[in-house]
Amino acid sequence: MNSLQKQYDLDKHTWDECAETYERQIVGGHPDILAFENFEEDFLDRVLRHLSQVQNRPVKLMDIGCGSGRLHLRYGAKTQHITCLPESHPLYALKQNVPELAFDPLIAEKLREVWGIDFSANMIGLAKEKLETSGLNGNQTIALTFEQGSAFDLNEQSDKCMPLAISLVNSIGVMQGQAGAVELFKSMRRAVEAARGIAIISCYQQEYVQSYGLGQYESTLDVSGQPVWMIPDTYASSQYRQIPKSYKLAHSKDLTLVVDVFNSENQLVKKGHQLQREPGRTERVIRTGDIDTYSEYKSHWYSFRKIDDLINEYWGTENSFHFKTKYLDALRAEPAQLAILDYGQHLNQIFKSWKVL
């Protein structure tokens, strides 16, 4: 078995294990991550609206590493008009409580399908559950579909639809290291090239590991495990759950983290246990962008330069764009970057108006 396949199998197990906590703590948790996800969603809304105006084909949105299906829920809801729903419908209440999920006529005009792929059966299970609870169980106006499988095996899409493939919130960083990143670039290109579609990779930058990354992983250690740069490792094993007292936000200077420790029977073992950064290991994470925890969780924050190299090598320069998201939104998207492959030059106009080119 080659090393990429071996890492794939290991990571698949890790993601199946952490699916539920990931959903609670990351998707609906850490404020900086939520802010960035909101930025990604607003960005995608704008792209979809623009595509509705500048091209004729229906759009197929492809969410690569779709996790618990936040795009399925968002666009399932945004393409459904509240007046078509009975008041007893779960989506009716959801739409009334969350203004962002209001009907968007421009998006609804062209978006025909949200398709997602993820290797974790548990993640896809959560996504389907979420759609079911929201009343998006087959009667909505667009198709909401999933496939359990590898992000590296995407099929070439037919040109009947315009494929818009997107990989969000640093999914590339958890896709089996640099060999996985290369496969993701190749696979997304294969999916959209013939149909003259768009591929977008949204990820963090290594340059922000110190100001954003360390604190994020530290204060979500109950999801992905105790970071290896935090000591002591007394409660780092899977026998214990360490629950942080608060989130560490961007630019925090705090080198410590206080947690309550619980055993597998959910009994409190130690209150106010203090972890602290080990300087040598912390320096290594900042220098390499390699995030490791005691639970075998691995992530990588790619430098701006490295993503540039991947774009040049696997997407070419003619149809691609690369920019720092802080130039679009310094408050919500300071630490990230967008890599974009746009075969039809569909997005030139908005990029020019945003002055990111």
- Residue 220: CB minimum distance to ligand SAM, A: 12
Size of the site for ligand SAM (CB under 6 A): 24
Which member of 25, 79, 80, 120 binds ligand SAM (CB under 6 A)? Answer: 120
Task: Extract the tokens encoding 325.
Answer: 């998201």
What Rg value do the Cα atoms of the chain yield, rounded? 20
For 36, half-sphere exposure in the C-beta direction (CA atoms, 13 angstrom radius) is: 27
Write the binding mask 74 to 113 for ligand SAM: x where contact by CB under 6 A, - elsewhere: ----------------------------------------
Nearer to ligand SAM, 205 or 319 (CB): 205
- Residue 118: CB minimum distance to ligand SAM, A: 4
| 335 three-class SS | coil
70/73 Cα distance (integer angstroms): 5
Q: Which residue lies nearest ligand SAM, judged by its C-beta?
A: 67
Which helix H or strand E contains 253, and what residues bound it? none
Stretch that binds ligand SAM, among 51-59, 147-155, 189-197, 280-288 (CB under 6 A): 147-155
Nearer to ligand SAM, 23 or 104 (CB): 23
Stretch that binds ligand SAM, among 85-93, 162-170, 225-233, 290-298 (CB under 6 A): 162-170
- Interaction between residue 123 and ligand SAM (CB under 6 A): yes
Identity (one letter) of the amino acid at 50? H
- Report the site for ligand SAM in 201-260 (rule: CB under 6 A): none
- The separation between CA 321 and the C-alpha centre of its own chain, rounded to angstroms, equals 19
Which member of 151, 154, 203, 310 binds ligand SAM (CB under 6 A)? Answer: 151
- Report the site for ligand SAM in 180-199 (rule: CB under 6 A): 180
- Residue 15: CB minimum distance to ligand SAM, A: 4
Q: What is the DSSP letter of 210?
A: I
β strands within the chain, DSSP E: 59-64, 111-118, 143-148, 162-167, 198-204, 230-231, 240-244, 256-263, 268-277, 290-292, 298-300, 320-324, 336-342
- Interaction between residue 298 and ligand SAM (CB under 6 A): no
Write the binding mask 2 to 31 for ligand SAM: x where contact by CB under 6 A, - elsewhere: ------x--x---x-----------x----
276/252 Cα distance (integer angstroms): 14
| 248 three-class SS | coil
- Interaction between residue 150 and ligand SAM (CB under 6 A): yes
**Residue 128 CB partners (closer than 8 Å, separation 6+):** 69, 146
90/130 Cα distance (integer angstroms): 11
Task: Extract the tokens encoding 96.
Answer: 């009334």
Nearer to ligand SAM, 40 or 334 (CB): 40
Positions in the binding site for ligand SAM (CB under 6 A): 8, 11, 15, 27, 65-67, 70, 117-120, 123, 150-152, 168-171, 174-176, 180
